[in-house]
Amino acid sequence: MSFDLGVWYPQKRISNEEARELYVRLCDGDTSGVVTHPAIEAFYAELTAKHPEIDTIPEGKIGDHDYCPWSCKLDHSPGHVIMSCVWSKATYVDRVVQDLARKRGLAVYDPQDNEVTYPDGATGSKGTSRGTRWVLGSFALLFAIIFVYSEQLAPSRAPLAVYVLAGFCGLMALACFAPKWSGPVVRILGLAVFLAFASYLVHELLREPAKPYAGRSEPHWFNAILWLIVFGMPGLYVALRGKYPRLGKGAKAFISGTVSQGREESLTDDGITVETEIFEHHEVKPHFVNPCCFGEDFAAWLKEHVAALESSGFEFSEIIQEDYGWGFWAWHGKDPFWVALGYVGDGPQEAPAQWVISVDYDPGLNLLKRLFHSPDRASLQQLRDHVRQVASSNAAIKIVPPPRYFETHKLDLHNRE
């Protein structure tokens, strides 16, 4: 897994989305969107004097991330620098890069948060201001109080529905007043929306299942199915993923509010890419589910070497074949982590093969864990660091920049399935 940043000279202010597009082009080798500037060379010289390029460090310093935090060689031109560091040094590298870039008058783009920061501290964000959040939160809280007060003053025939609406408004106020709670609030609201429309469908099926269909304006189980698909299923997606699906109804209104776990709390691993000749990548085995399922011996080798963590309380499954390659489960207590090795390519190849190795927290279909359980991040980071150490300590395995298509996929606001 790596933490990435891009730096260039800001000849003009651009939005986060424009910065994202520029970053993708830079990853593809297109430097036409940046201008040559001496500040870039000064930034690069000062940064590499502090932390040398990964291909220049002495053998005794290999694996010393305090000396060299980079996960691959820096992508450098007279107009830009792109850096990838190990995730455990993300906060430190972010601070160093931001300080050096501010000193040199450069812009810094963070693809993890899809945000560009300028030397004066301004960003390319068009998000909701603090004042707007407080106004919206105040109105939401006011409506919550009105719902509760009106129900106490003049009880309705559906008090539960009134209190549910009051709860909705209260949660919206909480998300506005305390942004750090926006993640859990969004998930709870998504789950509530799904349960509401699922309950409506069950109600219509039990009430009059044989009722003739009289149109979309009349209560009917067919309409209930439509409502569940249009609103309920996106609500379930929000509950599970913490963000609105890009293809869901009203997606444009919600995409900018994607829940960010923060770089120190990320449970999603973008992976490291390795290149090697020592594992099988020429002969498609009969038990492969498709021609690109190479990595069986690689997964077995990796599992054997990370088994040293059993002394730290980890347990490991047998290796498992997936349609993209191989992987295995690692448990620490009740926290399940998935170690995946994805083969880069469509089938056998003569050149040295590449795999993307990632380590993620994966509670599967356990909705309660997804909503309310936070895994032991120290254990997750320990596993990630150990996997990386195992890969980088073998001279026959080379850590390389991610494939270009993988870089573009990473930038899709972490929309990992």
Residue 416 lies in a domain: no
Residue 118 lies in a domain: no
- What pLDDT sits at residue 369? 66
Based on C-alpha coordinates, what's the Rg of the chain?
25
- What pLDDT sits at residue 179? 64
- What pLDDT sits at residue 3? 85
Q: Are 86 and 3 in contact (CB under 8 A)?
A: yes
Strand partners, 76: 81
Residues 137 and 108 in one domain: no
- What pLDDT sits at residue 317? 95
Residues 189 and 231 in one domain: yes
Residues 317 and 352 in one domain: yes
- What pLDDT sits at residue 90? 87
Using the 3D structure, point to which of 231, 257, 283 is the last residue of a domain. Answer: 257
Tokens (6 digits) for 92: 């430190």
Residue 151 lies in a domain: yes
Q: Are 234 and 244 in contact (CB under 8 A)?
A: yes
SS3 of the chain: helix, strand, coil, percent, to 5: 45, 15, 35
- What pLDDT sits at residue 127? 53
Residue 73 lies in a domain: yes
Torsional class of 355: left (φ above 0), alpha (ψ -120 to 50), beta (otherwise) = beta
Strands of 107-110's sheet, edge to edge? 75-77, 80-86, 2-8, 107-110, 115-117
Residues 13 and 66 in one domain: yes
- What pLDDT sits at residue 245? 55
Residues 239 and 332 in one domain: no
Residues 134 and 228 in one domain: yes
Instruction: Report the amino acid identity of residue 96.
Output: V
Phi, psi (5° rounding) for residue 183? -60, -60
Residues 252 and 148 in one domain: yes
- What pLDDT sits at residue 246? 43
Range of the domain at 157: 130-257
- What pLDDT sits at residue 156? 86
Residue 44 lies in a domain: yes
The count of other CB atoms within 10 Å of the CB of residue 94 is: 19
Q: How far apart are CA 388 and CA 393, in angstroms?
A: 8
Going by the DSSP 8-state scheme, the letter that residue 248 receives in this structure is S
Count of domains forming the chain: 3
Compute mean pLDDT per 10 residues along the chain, 417 residues long, and list them: 88 89 92 94 95 88 88 93 89 92 92 86 66 83 92 86 87 78 77 87 87 80 88 82 49 37 46 89 88 91 94 94 90 92 84 89 70 78 89 88 51 39
Residues 242 and 333 in one domain: no
Between strands 325-332 and 335-344, the pairing is: antiparallel
Q: How far apart are CA 162 and CA 125, in angstroms?
A: 36
